[in-house]
Amino acid sequence: MKGLSLFANVGVAETYLENLGIDMVLANEIDPKRAKFYKHLYPSTEMIEGDITDNKIYNKVVSKALDYNVNFVIATPPCQGMSTAGKKNDLDPRNQLVSYAIDIIKELKPAFVLLENVPQQLKTKIEFDGEYMLIPKYIKYQLEDIYLFNNDPIIDCANYGVPQTRQRSIFLLTRKDIGNRWEFPKQNNKIVTLKEAIGDLPSLDPLIYDVSYEKHLSVFPEYEKKMEEAEKVSKWHTPPKHIYRQVMAMRYTPTGKSAFQNEKIEHRPHTKDGRIVKGYKNTYKRQSWDRPAYTVTMYNRTIGSQDNVHPGRPIGLDNNGYMIYSDPRVLTIYELLKVMSLPTDWNIPEWASEHFIRQVIGEGIPPLLVKQIVSQIVENEEFNIAI
Q: What is the pLDDT of residues 136-165, one digit of tens each?
A: 889 999 999 999 999 999 999 999 999 999
How many Cα atoms within 13 Å fall on the side-chain side of residue 283?
12
Q: Which residue type, as a one-letter code, is found at position 250?
A: M
- The predicted model gives 265-281 an average pLDDT of 89
Give the residue numbers marked as catalytic: 79
Domains (range + CATH), the chain: 2-186+365-386 (3.40.50.150), 202-236+239-331 (no CATH)
Burial class of residue 146 in the structure, from the number of CB atoms within 10 Å of its CB (0-12 exposed, 13-18 middle, 19+ buried): middle
Residues in CB range of 71: below 8 A, 6 or more apart: 1, 2, 110, 111, 112, 387
Instruction: Please tell me the distance from the alpha carbon of residue 235 to that of residue 261, in angstroms, as a whole number.
Output: 34
pLDDT tens, position by position, 11-59:
999 999 999 999 999 999 999 999 999 999 999 999 999 999 999 999 9
CB contact at 8 A, 17 and 44: no
On the question of pLDDT at 90 being above 60, the answer is no
pLDDT tens, position by position, 171-209:
999 999 998 899 999 998 899 999 999 999 999 999 999
pTM of the shown model? 0.93
CB contact at 8 A, 46 and 28: no
